[in-house]
Amino acid sequence: MSKKILLSGVKPTGRPHIGNYFGAMKQFADLQNDYECYFMIADYHALNHIQNANDMKENIFGVALDYLAIGLDPEKVTIFKQSDVSAHTELAWMFDSITTMPYLMRAHAFKDAEAKNKEISVGTFNYPMLMAADILLYDTDVVPVGQDQKQHIEITRDTAEKFNHTFGADVFKLPNPLIVEGVATVPGIDGQKMSKSYNNTIPLFATDEEIEKQVMSIVTDSSGGRPENVYAIHKLFRAEAELASLYEEKKGKYKDLKEALIEDIKAFIAPLRARREALAADPSAVERILVDGAARANIRASAKLADAKRAIGVL
Ligand code: TYM
């Protein structure tokens, strides 16, 4: 029996943080043997933020290294760059044509940007259509993501149904999100959602100095009990049963608890960081993985794009 299909992606917009890891990327590694997997570097999505060729190149290489360093095995899974598979942008155009502006105006990301009075690019507005194309081109069954992407998966499902219904053809399969309880929204050092744009992250490949600095900056209240923001991050690295005695013993001793967290994060990150550094030493090996991944992704994506073209009557 053939395996179910799993697809997900990360935008190359800078260094990943432990929220990206626990919320999504860890699931990529954990599930890679159970599904036929596609892991994308969402470079065209990143173009809304990264508008400098050197930064883009560096960030793309960075996500490829991140994927390999967390243990994705390119022999088993397909790792590819979105821009290498032009079916993504072609299909996104078809979806643009069957989707209304008011529908997309309900997207959280658009509403947040609008509320902040940001200048919104057309690409940012259409973002969910490109993401729907990413997912639907591969007959994807599951999409491991954090909570912030849930609405995008719902939009993807709506778009698949709308296309199938409009053209009277069963072209697209409806995917399901895979959001793991407890890590759906990993908090940052200020207790808000961890996010590059809030400046509250602990980078996944942080140096020891960065780990110390960020943990020491975790916002704590002075109620004397358990420092919730420290605990919320600590439970990602150590079982809650073990933490219970530590937090009881060190009740009110915030500095000691932060030091214990620093040690746990360092122990976790050190081997990941070492693996990433070793991989970075051979850029041509990484390049070969992406070329090979693009070829594999293109096979599936171009077949599905042809189905969509036939359904709309251009082929
Ligand atoms: P991106 O690059 O912003 O984030 C990558 C993944 O990390 C998750 N994440 C979090 N999870 C828990 N807690 C947090 N604080 C946290 N911050 C980020 C995100 O939910 C995401 O799963 N649109 C996507 C990229 C994308 C994609 C796709 C994903 C493009 N096409 C197709 C899946 C399928 C994004 O911006 O992720």
pLDDT, tens digit, 9 for 90 and up, residues 21-50: 999 999 999 999 999 999 999 999 999 999
221 pLDDT band, cuts 50/70/90, is confident
222 pLDDT band, cuts 50/70/90, is low
pLDDT in tens, 232-268: 999 999 999 999 999 999 988 999 999 999 999 999 9
Would you say the CB of residue 49 lies under 6 angstroms from ligand 1? Answer: no
Domains of the chain: 5-183+283-312 (3.40.50.620), 196-277 (1.10.240.10)
Nearest to 7 by CA among 128, 178, 125: 178
Beta strands of 128-225 (E only): which ranges? 142-144, 176-178
Cα(244) to ligand 1 centroid in Å equals 31
Would you say the CB of residue 48 lies under 6 angstroms from ligand 1? Answer: no
Residue 151, CB-side half-sphere exposure with 13 Å CA sphere: 12
Cα(251) to ligand 1 centroid in Å equals 35
Best probe residue, ligand 1, of 20, 38, 136 (max atoms within 8 Å of C-beta): 20
Tokens 């895979």 sit at which residue? 178
**Which atom of ligand 1 is least distant from the CA of 130?**
31
**Cα dihedral 60, 65, 71, 75 in deg (nearest 10):** 70
Would you say the CB of residue 128 lies under 6 angstroms from ligand 1? Answer: no
Would you say the CB of residue 26 lies under 6 angstroms from ligand 1? Answer: no
Model's pTM, two decimal places? 0.97
224 pLDDT band, cuts 50/70/90, is low
Cα(147) to ligand 1 centroid in Å equals 9
Nearest to 85 by CA among 127, 40, 125: 40
Identity (one letter) of the amino acid at 307? D
**Which atom of ligand 1 is least distant from the CA of 184?**
12
- Which pLDDT score is estimated for 100? 98
Would you say the CB of residue 92 lies under 6 angstroms from ligand 1? Answer: no
pLDDT in tens, 268-307: 999 999 999 999 999 999 999 999 999 999 999 999 999 9
- Which pLDDT score is estimated for 223? 72
- Which pLDDT score is estimated for 116? 87
